[in-house]
Structure formats: C-alpha cells, structure tokens
Structure 1
C-alpha cells in the first residue's frame, strides 16, 4: 500500500503532522509512506522511522519567481509533480489545505484523496475550532484511518546529539539548570518583549543558566541581554540541534511559535505565553506545559502586526517567574499581585 502525505509549512505545523503520520503508520504498518514537504522543514522528518520517502517542494520559489521567472517556475512545479507520480497511491492526504499544496493532491495518481479544507472533488474536512492536531486526525478518521494518538515524533541523529553534548560542556560546565528562552516569532503581536525577558533573567537564581535561541537575524538583539549571565545561541543551531538542546533543557519559556511546539513534542517543562492566538487551537498538548495569557479581555484577534491591547505584554514578570520556578522545582517566592491568568493544558484538554 502506498500513501502520500502533503505538509509543507510552517515548522510547528509540520511537527504537528507527525502525530497524523504516526496514526497512519499504526493503521497501515506495511505501507510505504511518502511525505511532500519544504526544504526548510525536511529536517523534522529526516530521522522519522515512520516515513519511507521525502519529496521536497520549495514553496518560497512561488513568491520569489512568480513574476520574474514564471515559465521556469511552472517547469519546477511540473518536475515536482512528476516526482510525486513516480508511483501511484492508495491514499493521499493534504494536511495543509492551501493552493500551493492542494495542486499536488489534485495531480497525484491516487485512488482516494483527502484535504484539510473545502476543495472541490476531494474528500475533505475543516473545523477551525479544533486543535490543529485534532483537526488533522479527524480528517484521517473521515478517510477511515483510526487516529487515536496526539503524540508528535521528532528524532535526532547521533551527530547532532554529539554536537549538543559538546556545546553543553562548553557553555554549562557547572551543570546548572538549563532554561531555554525563545522570545522571537514571525508575528510582533506574539512577542512578550526582550525587556520582559531581561527582567526575568535578572531575577533567576544563580544555579539557573538562561539560554536564548533564535535565528541569525536575532543575534544582535540578544547580545545586549547576555553580557552578564545568559548565553546567546541565536543563529548557531540547526533545527535538529535545537531539538536536542530542547530535549535536554530543564524548562523553556516561549511564545506561540515553533520552539513552543518543539518543547511540547520533547515533553520539556514549558511556560507558553499567549496573546493574539488561541491556545485551544494551537497550544501545547504536553502535560508539562503551562499556558499564560493576560487577563485583559483578550479577544484572540489573530492580528499579526498590531494589537491595540498588546495583550501578551500585559503578562507580568512575576507570573512567568513563578511558573518557571515551578517547572524548575525551585522554592516558590512570596506571592505578588499581577493580572495574568494561568491555564494548564494536557492531552485530554482542548
């Protein structure tokens, strides 16, 4: 049996899809599973034993070459379609549901085709109110595939493990408790603010090592915060090295971003800070995760660039610090007033 799964982006969504792939493999243990994804996300599937074949489609070429190299872009899309159709499929799923993904589902030589969305002439399911993992699982169930698991899967190779082991020996020779701080997202409205992270690290006990992560473009911004005690790893890690570092961390503080989903997948104790997005739809499912959002009448507006209430910045440092100390199993400080609401999410919720 041959099965095609399409999931191109974003990184957190690609990681979510590993739960669906786990369910497909459990239902069809002898099947050959092919995954179509983007080059930037392929590392997340690299060591996944449930996947037999990975096909790459560079979705960013659509934006870069739509006007300047249109004929070349069409040729590239056709080449990927031919690669997809080197074999026929019994089942095919588009877990993305966007135009740039569903074209490959339409083109696939597949007997039974399903999409997360409302595209014509395809089996389909769409219910935005569900958690993203549950929505994909419900699509599988509509196609007759049992989907009981919500557990993501991310494996790291030996070389990346050794690299991170060497890194930790260098940055943390005293074996302090490791706290991952991931302050950056693609949405300004999701960010708690570097000023708040600075206040947080200044109040951490000496036996905690704060480690900032991010992209190369974030490195200069973090440098101003790490002069004294924090470590700046922005731009230094591959995705799988970051995954291994997250697995070894004692706790993490993130916004709604890929590091949050990674911490959830690795079951790392997590404090997830939410503003314009809905934790019921995209929040962490790990039992070790605590979600914080400010009690300021947030409407979960899903605005990327500007939120009038700046809800996430209303979460107090006191509240985050108490949650971090709880995750690190430190002594609780004396309580102080703040205006943040605390929500604990487990796999049974949402």
Structure 2
C-alpha cells in the first residue's frame, strides 16, 4: 500500500502526526508512507523511520493557488498512491490528493471539503479531546472507532531517532563543555510573551543548575535571541561562562540533536517542547494561558506545571514585560524541585 499524507505546518503538530505514521506502519507493515509538508519539516521527518519520503510543499501556509496545487497533484499521479490522509482541516490542504487521483482520501470534514475527501469523518470534539487521538483515529476505517476510548492502548507516541555520534559531533561543533551535563532551556513561544515563563525565572534556575555543575543551553528561533540575551545578562560573569544562547544560531536539525544530548529540558508550551518529548528527554513543561488539555507533551518523562485551568486566549499578559501572572507565579524553586525529581528518577532506571 502506498500512502500520501498531507502533513501539518507547525512543529508541534508535525511531531504529533508521527503517532499516525507509527500506527499505520504497525497495522500495515508493508505500507510506504510519503509525507508532504513544508521543506523545513525535513529534519523532523528524516528522523521518523516510518516515513519513506518527505515531499516538499512549496506553497506558503495561507496560499490557495489552486493552479499550482493542481500541478502538484498531477505530478504525483505517477506515484499511484492508494490512500491519502489530510491532516490540516483547510479546504486547500485537500486539493492535492484530489488532483493526484488518490482513490481514498481520508480526513476530518473541516471547511467545505465535500468531494475533495471521499472518506470524511465528522469530528466530535468531546469524543476526541486530544489532537494526537484525532490523528491516530484516521488510521482506522470509518465508524470503527467511536471515541478515543476505543483506540488501542497505549498509543504509539512520537519517537525521533538520534545517534550518539551525532550528539558528540554537534556538541563539539558548538564548543560545548564535555565535562558538564547539558540542561536545555526553550524560553521562547509563539504569539508573544504571555506563554513564556519570565526570563528572570529562567535565569535564577540557570544559576542554580550551573552552580550544581551543569551547563545550560538556550535553544529557539531568531525571535528568541533577545530573550536568551536577557537570561544571560541576569547571570553572574562566572555563570555566563557555562550558559550558551544558541537561539537563532542553529538549524532545526542541529536543535533536534542538541535537545537529544540534553540531560533534561525546561520549556514553555512550544514546538520544541514536543520535539524534546519525542526524544524522551526528562522534561518540565511550563504552561500559562494555553492549555495542555489538547496538545500535551507526549512522554512519560514529562512533567507539566500549570497553576490555572481552562484555555485563555491571551496574546500579552497584564504583568510587566507582557508576562502572564500565572507563569510568574511558577517559582524557580518549584521547577528545580520537579527537575531534581526527574533527574533522580532517571538515575534509578
């Protein structure tokens, strides 16, 4: 069986979609799974053994461009896919499998996709509370799974593969101290500071960890560089020698490998949080207005700290520098205690 997947366009969603690929491969071991997604996804897809080929989606996230989607679909006809799974809920995302003449095109009904999908599922959000469950449900025939409770347990969570040689080589390339275990910080988050644990809390935690013999590596996009610099500036001169701000200085491929090399990771609700979870790193995930109820980190080594309930659509908090009070109220001491417990549990395994 040849399968085409139209994948998501966000890091976290792409990571969770691996659960679908793993489930399909478990059900159909001979299946060949190709995933069409933005080119930046290749470093993630290349580390998913279930994926045969990453097909670059050249169109931007919001571009309709029906003519170009028709051309892409026609170019895929020679691959003769048997099935397609469309993971985004948009109309435009269902066009390419339709133009590719894929016989069975599966996805949640979404926006006006009648005809484009001939195996459209009606989503009951109460029955499928987690995004990962909604992805995995598509691996089964329509009507077989009525709710998340019907899915075989445990779910096959995302697992990225990184080897020891890659870790050593990449750490050396960034001149990291081989004598100090690495704690990774992912202090950024999309949509502004309201989803971020304050930089001064990160700095306090970094100082304690450095004093205990760790080194701290800050990871993220170029947009997170300033936040990383704020963390560095709050450390003493001696502590700064053991804290590296690599936000914006790594390609996604390198960030994945560096996360895999970490002894543990402390992170906001972000795409890199889901990458760290898929690497099975001991993980502290800090939540404020956004909720872990829909897209939690999928790892038994993850601990979520959140002081409020429900989802709050907040782009900028009311506190100083745009932080949300619920994240300010998570103390570095609380995070340090949770982190120490995770690290101790890891030593006992």
Q: TM (normalized to structure 1)?
A: 0.81
- Displacement of 1:307 in angstroms is 7.0
What 5-or-longer segments of structure 1 have no aligned partner?
67-72, 331-350
8 Å contact kept, 1:22–1:50: yes
Q: 1:124-273, aligned counterparts within 5 Å?
A: 124-129=121-126, 130-143=129-142, 149-156=155-162, 160-161=166-167, 163-167=169-173, 170-174=175-179, 176-188=180-192, 189-204=194-209, 205-226=211-232, 228=240, 229-273=242-286
Residue 27 of structure 1 aligns with which residue? 27
Secondary structure (helix, strand or coil) at the match of 1:134 reads: helix
Cα pair distance change 1:61/1:142, threshold 3 Å: closer
Contact 2:260–2:281 (Cα < 8 Å) also in 1: yes
Q: Which moved more, 1:53-62 or 1:13-22?
A: 53-62
Q: Secondary structure at the match of 2:39?
A: coil
Structure 2 contact 186–272 (Cα < 8 Å) conserved: yes
1:1-350 equivalence runs, <5 A: 1-60=1-60, 62=62, 73-118=65-110, 119-121=113-115, 122=117, 123-129=120-126, 130-143=129-142, 149-156=155-162, 160-161=166-167, 163-167=169-173, 170-174=175-179, 176-188=180-192, 189-204=194-209, 205-226=211-232, 228=240, 229-295=242-308, 298-306=309-317, 310-329=325-344
305 and 91 in structure 1: CA distance in 2 versus 1, 3 angstrom threshold? farther
1:17 to partner: Cα distance? 0.9
Q: Which deviates more, 82-91 or 298-307? A: 298-307
Distance 2:21 2:186 in 1: 27
| 3-state DSSP of counterpart to 1:17 | helix
| Cα deviation, residue 305, structure 1 | 4.2
Equivalents in 1 of 2:80, 2:224: separation in Å? 44
- Which stretch shifts more, 138-147 or 36-45? 138-147
The Cα of 1:161 is off from its aligned counterpart by 4.0
Q: Check whether the contact 2:20–2:138 (CA below 8 A) recurs between aligned residues.
A: no
TM-superposition CA deviations, 1:232-273 (whole Å, max 9, x none): 111222222222221221111111111111111111000001
TM-superposed deviation, 1:49: 3.0
- Please say which of residues 37-46 and 142-151 is displaced more in the overlay: 142-151
Change (3 A) 1:291 1:221: closer
* Partner residue, 2:148: none
Quickly say closer, same or farther: Cα 1:117–1:301, change in 2 above 3 A: farther
Please give the alpha-carbon distance, in whole angstroms, between the structure 1 residues aligned to 2:330 and 2:56. Answer: 40
Cα separation, 2, equivalents of 1:179 and 1:19: 27
Question: Which 10-residue stretch deviates more, 111-120 or 150-159?
Answer: 150-159
Q: How far does residue 37 in structure 1 lie from its aligned partner after superposition?
A: 0.8
The answer to whether the Cα contact below 8 Å between 2:183 and 2:265 also exists between their aligned partners in 1 is yes
Partner SS, residue 53 of structure 1: strand
Does the aligned pair in 2 maintain the 1:20–1:147 contact within 8 Å?
no
Structure 1 pair 141–313 and aligned structure 2 pair: CA distance change class (3 A): farther
- Contact 1:87/1:109 (<8 A) preserved: no
